[in-house]
Structure 1
């Protein structure tokens, strides 16, 4: 695989730190280059995955590192994701990992607990948005949308709204109208009601049934769908991998991962490593969230909820 080096004459681009690109194929490198250049950023270099770790160490400055993954790169990929996750958490640079859906679990295992933007099978608008979020924050969406098509601009606005909804929802979870902080009740022995598994399954089926009569995204509520799925799994004593939970969220994988990361940061979800497979991670409700869900179902009673 060849390494790509790009030179640009734009004075605006030359005054900003470049983006370092790493990919696992010629095609993945080309696609990442197109994304970065379309967003108005400068590409410092585009290199094979196996050379990325060393290049990152010697790179004097970079506005971001973009990693493009099409297949399982094994230990080389694992080490690079761990390095980027650590560096991004330390504030050394911003990072985006773009991966295929087949790599969802591995990608989340590598960078899911860090500020790295994780993009799964993203379209052009979502890829540009991921770079904008990573390097400039949510308020830069308008700047990126200036170079997108009308359709892409609409998608970028939706992504901006999506991030805003996450922030607003979590703000409501953590504080009431009087801004007094609230937390999920502490778990106490004997407090958790026993909820029939069928009661949770009926709610999940009812929610999915709505999609037969209305547009699927009309009732999108990934946080609640994931809470229901994890509660059902807990009652059935099943373990839930990241990819399965993203399917249960009934939204695009990138959106589900954003919610998953935020809910984990809030202590509502917990990550648990698979003791039999070091390259897999499961998600479960925290004890406090489990108690809250069970008490909710107990109070709602046989009326049920959707």
Structure 2
């Protein structure tokens, strides 16, 4: 099995900006305990604190300098908060990285506000979730000495993050401090996931022998597949079958056939994994060109997720291939 190597920078190097200075962080949270936790964890990561205050600071008074990493905690998103998030999303578009934690009830509104900055959105996160998000933010800065990642490497890294997240959750449950999660090391190696996300016509892709462009099957067929997949959880631990990318693709394929729009909250539920995990996969699949977001023309506060035409064609080819293989067995 091929291995993927990701050079590891020390914590101080990760938290240093292009000029060698520590990255600055701005924290906006109304819950004092959450605000203190985020502050402690960013300091443990070697970052410099620029501002730490309530969410109201985002829309009170004149605009102020913000850090290279901005964390906002808004479990309830009223009109002023959403307006402030929209402005912040535009402001950090290329100059900073935004991490927003919210609730499942406010997710659709928050997601719609964050359409420019490639923000990380966390849903009802634990402390470990925030630490993992902070680590992902650090890797986005140019001085981390990470080589340009291929499509396969990005999926590998995403899966590694999920595995580290599970470990961090367990450490949280056992009362292990954040220092253990931010421990230093020299390198890590993980097995490549193969060509799960291979582009059409690329490695691992085969053309249909007939040369005829296939069409998607009846939506009832796909809904039946989804129901059968969910039925497994009645007899086995659902974690055994977690495959969010495929569940997302199946749900959106059925929705495309039915001409139904899918909200990000609905898609998170369909993925079968926690919303924060689902959002990471949705973001990765958007970057991979499999999904795209559609703004609601009637309500700019809402956004929907859909398959790209390329992904729909790939799904059609998959079902055509499965149909041909099944026919050979009968």
Normalised TM-score (structure 1): 0.73
Q: Does 1:234 align with 2:256?
A: yes
**Which structure 2 residues correspond to residues 1-306 of structure 1 after superposition, within 5 A?**
16-23=22-29, 25=30, 27=31, 29-39=32-42, 40=44, 41-52=47-58, 57-59=63-65, 62-74=67-79, 76-90=80-94, 92-112=95-115, 114-136=117-139, 149=172, 151=174, 168=193, 172-174=197-199, 191-301=213-323, 303=326
Cα 1:33–1:44 change in 2 (3 A) is farther
- For 1:8, the equivalent position in structure 2 comes to none
How far apart are residue 183 of structure 1 and its match? 8.6
Contact 1:88 1:115 in 2 (8 A): no
How far apart are residue 217 of structure 1 and its match? 1.2
Q: Give RMSD over aligned pairs.
A: 3.8
Contact 1:249 1:256 in 2 (8 A): yes
Cα 1:173–1:50 change in 2 (3 A) is same
How far apart are residue 52 of structure 1 and its match? 1.6
Name the CA distance, whole Å, in 2 between partners of 1:221 and 1:268.
Answer: 16
Name the CA distance, whole Å, in 2 between partners of 1:68 and 1:195.
Answer: 42
1:231-258 deviation digits (Å, cap 9, x = unpaired)? 1112222111110011000001011111
Name the CA distance, whole Å, in 1 between partners of 2:22 and 2:296.
Answer: 42
Name the CA distance, whole Å, in 2 between partners of 1:258 and 1:213.
Answer: 28
Cα 1:212–1:282 change in 2 (3 A) is same
Unaligned segments of structure 1, at least 5 residues: 1-12, 158-163
Higher RCO (CA-CA < 8 Å; seq separation 6+):
2
Name the CA distance, whole Å, in 2 between partners of 1:88 and 1:250.
Answer: 31
1:248-269 deviation digits (Å, cap 9, x = unpaired)? 0000101111111111122211
How far apart are residue 30 of structure 1 and its match? 3.5
Structure 1 or 2: more helix by fraction: 1
Normalised TM-score (structure 2): 0.69
The count of residues paired between Structure 1 and Structure 2 equals 268
How far apart are residue 206 of structure 1 and its match? 1.2
